[in-house]
Structure formats: structure tokens, C-alpha cells
Copies of this chain bind each other. A is one copy, B any other.
Amino acid sequence: MALAIKVNEETFTPRQQAVLTAALDLLVENGDGLTMTAVARRASCSKETLYKWFGDRDGLLTATVQWQAAKVRMPFVDRSHLSVKALRASLEQFARDLLTTIIGEVSITLNRTAITHAAQEKDDLGNIVLENGPMAIRRRLKPILEAARDARLLRFPSSEEAYRTFFGLVVRDVQIRLLLGDKALTQSNVEANIEADVKAAADQFLALYGAKASS
């Protein structure tokens, strides 16, 4: 059962989800200094139960990350009627979702935890976060890009390259700086500029890959 990426709703009972919530809260508060005792106290459950349900500390951590990461739901964007306007709206929506997610405390915590774990060869968490973060975006964005290309709205050699450029234009240095705890980059600070950044990213992406531009 190496990689259980998918987690459906009934994977955890409500009580278990309460425990996971407690774990996540502690994770956000205290970073990875998460102790089983602390989770038990916060969730008003016994350590024995914790071990019964999640096996060990890693299991609890994995469950928490899986459960939370799976919650990142990106709203649908219609790939049906493609116009330049609709495409731009879709791109902006993606950019907005991506940015909003990335700057959230939960996302930062999850990424930090997964990265810390990846440093110990235990890359389960890394893969989970990867799969629910960048890869999820990619899976969702690529078909739209390809549809737009088929409709002659975009031009690019490979959708993979186009996706990665989009990612770069949107995220820039925001994520790494937040992960490193850059004090000059407060969350509210970024939040205020989201709309402008979103528009700029869409503009730039269309400037690079729009059919008009590369005629």
C-alpha cells in the first residue's frame, strides 16, 4: 500500500477527522514539532487510540496530509465554448486558485512538513503534496491548453512546457519565500496584490503563447 494518493470521503470517520483537524492545527501552530501526546490532548483522545487508528507517528502525519491535501478543490472551468475571453477567464481562475492556495497557512504548513519529510528519504508526503498540488493543477490545466491550441487560440510546442511556464509566471518567487519564512512577504501583503498578479500572469502567458502574438 505504498502510495495511497486518493482519499475518498468515507476514509475517515467524523471522530477521526476531528483528530486529524487537531493534528493539522498543531502542525500549523508548532511546525513539525508535533508530538503524539499533544495531538491526544488537543483531540481529547488517548494515545492508544491514535496508534490503533494510524499505526505510528508517520501514519498520523500521512493521514493528516492526505486528508487535508485532498480537500484542495479547484472550481471547475468550462472547456466547452472557447473564446479568447473565456480562455483568459479560465487562466485567471487557475492563477487565482493557485495563488490563493499557495499563500494559505495550511498549504505552507503542508509543504513544509512534506519537504522536511523528503529530507529523510521518506518521500511519501512529498508525493502526496506534489500529487494534490502542482500535478493536480497540471492535470486540470493541460486539457484546457490543448483545447485552446486546437481552437487556434494558443500556440505552443508542448503543453508540458506551456503549463510550466504558466506555473512560473503565476508563482514566481512567492512560494519559496513564504516557505523560507520571508518576513518581508506577509500573507496579507500578497493577498492584496492577488488580482493584479493574476491579471499580469494571464497577460504575460497570452503574450507568449497567444496565437496572435506568435503569428
* A interface residue numbers (CB < 8 A to B): 30-33, 109, 111-116, 118-121, 123, 126-127, 129-130, 134, 161, 164-165, 167-173, 175-177, 179-183, 200, 204, 207-208, 213
Contact = CB atoms under 8 A, between A and B. Distances in A.
16 contacts: A30-B120, A31-B121, A33-B120, A111-B176, A112-B116, A113-B119, A123-B180, A126-B180, A129-B180, A134-B173, A168-B168, A168-B171, A168-B173, A169-B169, A176-B176, A208-B208
Contacts of A170: 168
Contacts of A213: 207
* Main SS at interface, chain A: helix
Nearest to A196: B161
Contact of A180 (B114, B168, B169, B173): B114
Contact of A118 (B129, B165, B180): B180
Given A32-B120, A126-B180, 17 more contacts: A31-B120, A33-B120, A112-B116, A115-B116, A115-B179, A115-B180, A116-B119, A127-B183, A129-B180, A134-B177, A165-B204, A168-B169, A171-B173, A176-B176, A179-B179, A207-B207, A207-B213
